[in-house]
Structure 1
Amino acid sequence: MVTVPRSLWHEPRPADAPPIGRLDWLLVGVFTAAASVESIIRPDLAWRPLVAVLALALIPALLWRRIRPLTATLIGWGVAGLLAVLQLTAHVGDLYAMMAVLILLYALVRWGSGREIAWGTAFVTVVVVLGMYAGSAGWADVFGGTVLLLLIVALAAVFRYRADLWQRRQREIRNQERVALARELHDIVAHHVSAIAVQAQAGGVVAATQPATAAEVLAAIESEATRTLAEMRSMVRVLREEEAVAYEPQPGVADLPALARAGVTPAVEVSLDGAASRLPRPVDAALYRLAQESLTNAVRHARNATRVGIAVRREGDAVRLRVSDDGQTPPGPVPEPGFGLLGMAERAQLLGGSFAAGPGPDGGWVVEAVLPVAAKA
C-alpha cells in the first residue's frame, strides 16, 4: 500500500479556481478540430471512427479540469488507458491529439485536493505504464516520457505554491489592515463617548437653571452620537468585508481644529504651526489619532482640568505633537501605562517615531510624539 504524506493527503483544493470561460471553449474547439482533422487525414489509423469518438470524449474533461480535476483526470486518462488496451488486443491506433491529457494532469496537481492528487497520479501512473507496454516503448521513450510527466507535475506544483503564497500574503495584509482599523475604531468610540459623557454632565448641571443651554447641550449630544454611529458603521463594514472596499479617507492634521471647543469644560485649543500640509498619509492619520486619543484620556482622567492644548509643529524632517492639560497630578508614583498609551506608543514606533507621556513640569499631563516625515513603510 502506498503511504501518502499527511500534509499532502489533507491539502484542500485551492479556493481561487476560475470558472469555465472563453479560453476553455477555445481549447475545446482547437482540440476538437485537431482530433477531427487527424482522424480523417491519417492514412495509417486503424478503427478510425472508434478512435475519433473516444478522442472526442475528452471534451467534458477539458471543461471540468479545474472545477472537477479528479473526475476530468479519470475521464481523460481513462480514455487513454482504454485505447492502450484496445491497442494490445485489437491493434487500434492512437491520435497525437490525445496529448491533451497532459493538460488534465497539470490541472489535477494545480487545482485538486491532496487526496485527489494522490488518487489521480496513481491512476495516471498505471495508464502510462500500460501505454508504454502497449506501444513497446524503448528505454529512451520511457525516460523521455517520465521526464515530461515529472516536469508537468513540477510546473503545476510551482504555480500552485506561488498562488498559495500570494494568497497568504494578501490575507496577512488584510489582517494587518483589520488590526489597524480595530485600533481606529477604539479611538473613535473612546473619543466620542467621552465627549458625550462630558456634555451630558454639563447638561445635568445647567438643566434646572438654564433650560435653553441644556437644550443646546442635548442637541450637541445628539449630533455627537449620530456622528459616532456613522463612523462605527463605516469601520465595522470594512472589518466585515473580505475584500477591500471603498470608505472615506482617514482624518489628518488638517482635521484637528474640529476637535477644538469652547464653553465646555475642559476647553480644547488647537494650534497648527505649518504642519497641516505635505505630510505622508500614514503620518497624517497617526498624528490625528494620537491627538484624539490623548484628548480622550485628558477628558476622562484629568482631575479638575479646565483646558486641553493640542499643538502640532513641524521640526525639520519631523513633526512634533504635544497634548497637555492643566489638571491636577495625583501624588505618588506614575501609574503603569494602560492599553491606550501602549497603543499610542506602538503606533508611533511603527512609523519610526518616539512617544512619551507623563506629568508635566507645571502640573497636568503631557503627551508628546515625534514622527519623521519620511515614515517607515
Structure 2
Amino acid sequence: MLREDLRTLWTEPQPPDAPARVWRDWALLAAGLAGVALEAILRENVVWRPVAVVFAVWLCLLPLWRRTRPLATVTLAFGSVLLLAVAPLVAAPREPVGLYTAGAVVLLLVYALPRWGSGREIVLGVTVILAVGTLCVLMDDTPVVEKAVGLVFLLLPGVVGAAVRFRGTARERQLEQVRSREREQLARELHDTVAHHVSAMVIIAQAGRVLAGTDPSAAVEALEGVEEEGARTLEEMRAMVAALRDRGVGAELAPPAGVADLERLVRIPGGRLRVGLELDGELDALSPAVDAAVYRIVQESVTNALRHAVDATELVVRVAAQRHTVRVSVRDDGRRTGRGRDGYGLTGLRERATLLGGTLRAGPGTGTDRGWHVEAELPRARSESGARTRPRR
C-alpha cells in the first residue's frame, strides 16, 4: 500500500495552471530587498555583513522562479543556507552568519515546493530540506527541544502548501465531475431528441411513398410532416449546441419540453400507429426536472415503438399525477424481435428516473397482454434520499 502511494506521488505532474510571474512576485521582491536594506543598516550584530547581505539578496531573487522551478530554487536556497552554516566552523568568529530576512524567504520556498512541484520534485526537494536541516541541527549547540521545534517550524510551510494544493485539486475534480454529468445529460437529451424526430420522419416518409401513387395530396401532406419534424429537430439541436458553447454569460435556450408538449409529441401524421394520450390529475405544478423526465420517458417509448414494435397498431400513453408521485405508462400491442438488451435510450431513462428518486421498468407484457410496456413512477418533487443513494460519477 505504501509503495503504491509513493509511486503515485512520484508520478504526480506539476499543476497545469502555475503562473510564471505575477505582480505579487515583484511586490514580494521589493519587500524582501527593503527588509534586507533595513536589517543591514539597523542591525548592529551582523556577522560578515557584506557576505550576509549578498546571500540575502540572492535568496530574495529565487522566489521569482518558485512556481516554474520549485526544486531548483529549494536546492539553491538550502545550498546557500548550508554554506552559511559551515562558514563559522572554518573561520572566526564562530557565530551564525546571515540575515533574518533570508530565513523568511527560505520558508516561502518550502511552501512553494509542494504547492507547485511535481511529485518527483517534491520527494527530492524534501530530501534536500531534511538533509540540510539535519546537518544544521547537528552543528548547532542549542537544546534538543529547540532543535525539534525549529525543524517543525521549517516544515510547516510545506504542509500548508500541500494542503492548498490538495484543496485546489479537489475543487478541480469536483468541477470535472459536474462537467461530466452535464455532458452525460446533453448526450442523453441529444439521443432522445434526434432518435424520436428521425424515427418519425422515417415513418412519415414511408407512408408518403406508399400513398404517392394513389393519393398525391396525402404524399404532399407526408412531405410537409417530414419538413415539420426536420425543422423541429434542427431547432432543438441548435439549442443544445448553444448550451455547449462557451459564451461566458450563457446562451439563450428554449425551455425544456414537458407534459404540456406531449400532445404535439404523439401527433404522428401518416403513421401506422394510433396513439392515445390520457392525462389525469394536476400536472401543471410539477418540478422542472420531473416535468422534463416525463416528456423524455414518453418520447423514448414512442420512438422505440415506432422503430421496433412489429405489427403494432395502437400505442397508449397515460400520465397520472397523484398526491406524491407521477405515474407514466406507455404500452403498445406489437411484438419485439432482435433486442436482447436495452439500448442507450432505456439505460438513460433508468438513470434519469433513479436520479430523481423514482423507478422505471421496461419489458414485454405478461399473459394475454402482449406488446411492450414502459412503467415509471416519479416523485412530484425530487427525492433527496434518491439523489444520495445514486453514486456520483
**TM-score, normalised with respect to structure 2:** 0.79
Q: Tell me which amino acid in the other structure corresponds to 2:28.
A: L
Q: 1:337 offset after TM fit, Å?
A: 5.6
Deviation track 1:169-192 (CA, whole Å, cap 9, x = no partner) reads 333343333333333232223212
2:306 is matched with 299
Q: 1:285 offset after TM fit, Å?
A: 2.2
Q: 1:246 offset after TM fit, Å?
A: 5.3
Alpha-carbon distance in structure 2 between the residues aligned to 1:150 and 1:368:
61
Decide which moves more: 12-21 or 195-204. Answer: 12-21
Decide which moves more: 199-208 or 346-355. Answer: 346-355
2:194 is matched with 189
Deviation track 1:52-84 (CA, whole Å, cap 9, x = no partner) reads 232222344323322322123233333333433
1:256 is matched with 262
Q: Tell me which amino acid in the other structure corresponds to 1:260.
A: V
Q: 1:45 offset after TM fit, Å?
A: 1.6
Contact 1:10–1:115 (Cα < 8 Å) also in 2: yes
Q: 1:42 offset after TM fit, Å?
A: 0.8
Alpha-carbon distance in structure 2 between the residues aligned to 1:5 and 1:67:
23
User: Please, which runs of 5 or more residues in structure 2 have no aligned partner?
Assistant: 388-393
Q: 1:233 offset after TM fit, Å?
A: 6.5
Q: Tell me which amino acid in the other structure corresponds to 1:310.
A: V
Instruction: Please state if 1:95 is matched with 2:99.
Output: yes
Q: 1:319 offset after TM fit, Å?
A: 0.9
Contact 2:222–2:270 (Cα < 8 Å) also in 1: no
2:80 is matched with 79
Percent pairwise identity: 43
Deviation track 1:244-275 (CA, whole Å, cap 9, x = no partner) reads 97573543323333313254223545454455
2:62 is matched with 61
Match of 2:378 among 350, 355, 371: 371
Q: 1:372 offset after TM fit, Å?
A: 0.9
Q: Tell me which amino acid in the other structure corresponds to 1:295.
A: V
DSSP 3-state at the match of 2:375 = strand
Match of 2:173 among 168, 172, 180: 168
**TM-score, normalised with respect to structure 1:** 0.82
Instruction: Please state if 1:353 is matched with 2:354.
Output: no
1:121 is matched with 126
2:149 is matched with 144
Q: 1:208 offset after TM fit, Å?
A: 3.1
Deviation track 1:318-368 (CA, whole Å, cap 9, x = no partner) reads 11122234x4458xx997663344543343233222333443876654422
With over 3 angstroms needed to count, the CA separation of the structure-2 counterparts of 1:132 and 1:328, relative to structure 1, is closer
Alignment coverage as a number of residue pairs: 371
Contact 2:311–2:335 (Cα < 8 Å) also in 1: no
DSSP 3-state at the match of 1:56 = helix
Alpha-carbon distance in structure 2 between the residues aligned to 1:67 and 1:220:
62
1:214 is matched with 219
Please list, as runs of the form range in 1=range in 2, the aligned pairs for 1:226-375 lying within 5 A after superposition.
226-229=231-234, 231-232=236-237, 235=240, 248=253, 250-261=256-267, 263-265=269-271, 266-273=273-280, 275-325=282-332, 327-329=333-335, 338-339=342-343, 340-357=345-362, 358-359=364-365, 364-375=371-382
Alpha-carbon distance in structure 2 between the residues aligned to 1:188 and 1:196:
12
With over 3 angstroms needed to count, the CA separation of the structure-2 counterparts of 1:8 and 1:334, relative to structure 1, is closer
1:38 is matched with 39
Contact 1:329–1:359 (Cα < 8 Å) also in 2: no
Q: Tell me which amino acid in the other structure corresponds to 1:94.
A: G
Instruction: Please state if 1:51 is matched with 2:52.
Output: yes
Q: Tell me which amino acid in the other structure corresponds to 2:329.
A: R
Q: CA RMSD in A?
A: 3.6
Contact 2:71–2:122 (Cα < 8 Å) also in 1: yes
Q: Tell me which amino acid in the other structure corresponds to 1:359.
A: G
Alpha-carbon distance in structure 1 between the residues aligned to 2:153 and 2:302:
68
Contact 1:69–1:104 (Cα < 8 Å) also in 2: yes
With over 3 angstroms needed to count, the CA separation of the structure-2 counterparts of 1:141 and 1:209, relative to structure 1, is same
Alpha-carbon distance in structure 2 between the residues aligned to 1:341 and 1:157:
44
